[in-house]
A and B are shown apart, each in its own frame.
Chain A
Amino acid sequence: MNAAEELKQKLPAAVVSTGMQVNKPMAVIKKEELLNAARKVKEMGFDHLSVITGTDYKDHFEVVYNFFSYNNKHNLVLKVIADHDKPEVDSLTSLWKGADWLERETYDLVGIKFRGHPNLIRILLPDGWNGHPLRKDYDMNTEQFVTVGENGDDIVSPDGTNLLRRK
């Protein structure tokens, strides 16, 4: 029995379905039950949160968590499906501190909000950037420029006249 099925046995209400991500067992989790499931996963010995990936599938968002257990050398993948209109899932920062930046990055680039995150601000792009670039409907044609304000903060605007030498 692989880890995903074990999780399903322990938390039948949370797991929608199980499957494989190529060679790693994967469990699709209900959005509301993510924090419970993650807590259970940590109890099962998966102490390493490898990566959090958010993907825009046009009609919904998928957030994929890859876990690994240093003791048992097992992988486990959790997947959560979020609405496209209001993508919001629970934050795992209370369980893994490493989730902090990974979630901020997912918020920054994909635009998925993490409930309960202590400091959910943009990390790679400057504050005030318009849009989330990894969404499929991101406008790649509009240029945005960054200038530095009086106190050293970034100011984003589509107007680059202060920065550019010529049009």
Chain B
Amino acid sequence: MEEGGFRVDPVTIDTTKIKTAKKKPVTALEKLEDTGLINTVLAAREREGLILFSTIDQIFNWARLSSLWPVSSGLACCAIEMMATAMAHHDIARFGMEIFRASPRQADLMFVAGTVTKRMAPRVKQLYEMMPDPKWVIAVGSCASTGGPYIESYSVLKGVDLIIPVDVYIPGCPPRPEAWLYGIIQLREKIKNEGYGAKWGLNK
């Protein structure tokens, strides 16, 4: 866990000895297990008391993906669909994302919503650099992904991934709010599997 500033030593766990209970969740621990978000909770039931073994990755990832705060910066047409996604009809609040932060210092997700022109590119990059780690970027629409219809233009950058790393691309010109939501779900899946645990096969 570099990002969180933690370092977790790997623990060898014999997974064959774990019995998984398939009954209706009653206690808080069981309910937590049942959410599926912490799907490798290793509860040592033989021990006295309630001890929960998990990876710090998973706890962090769960917390991170459950309330992504996007930075409120729209560049072009797609920003209007971003507003539509945030409004009541499509309701981005279901993902804990309704708080669009005006300052990149308080945000951990950036929607690059629209055409990135040559003149705007350094500003977009600066905005990205101002965001604290961990941070994610979704390139929305064909302009941000590749340059889109403006790829032949003299003043348009051919994809925002030339200047900043992108996690999820959402195609469309502009993408429908449903496509935005699907893109957000994909990003959540991605975040779920981040960290060292994923490399060691513990998050499966």
Contact = CB atoms under 8 A, between A and B. Distances in A.
Contact flag (A, B; Cβ within 8 A): yes
Interface of A: 125-126, 133, 138, 140, 144-148, 154, 163-166
B122 A163 contact: yes
28 contacts: A125-B119, A126-B119, A133-B154, A133-B155, A138-B154, A140-B152, A140-B154, A144-B118, A144-B154, A145-B118, A145-B121, A146-B118, A146-B121, A146-B122, A147-B122, A148-B122, A148-B123, A148-B126, A154-B119, A163-B121, A163-B122, A163-B125, A163-B163, A164-B162, A164-B163, A165-B161, A165-B162, A165-B165
A146 B163 contact: no
Q: Is the interface of A mostly helix, strand, loop or mixed?
A: loop
B164 interface: yes
Q: 9 tightest A-B contacts by CB?
A: A148-B122, A146-B118, A146-B119, A147-B122, A133-B154, A164-B162, A126-B119, A163-B163, A140-B154
Interface of B: 118-119, 121-123, 125-126, 152, 154-155, 161-165
Contacts of A163: 121-122, 125, 163
A133 B155 CA distance: 9
Contacts of B121: 145-146, 163
A163 B122 CA distance: 7
Contacts of A164: 162-163
**Which of A144, A146, A147, A154: most chain B CB closer than 10 A?**
A146
Given A146-B118, A165-B165, 17 more contacts: A125-B119, A138-B154, A144-B118, A145-B118, A145-B121, A146-B122, A147-B122, A148-B122, A148-B123, A148-B126, A163-B121, A163-B125, A163-B163, A164-B162, A164-B163, A165-B162, A165-B164
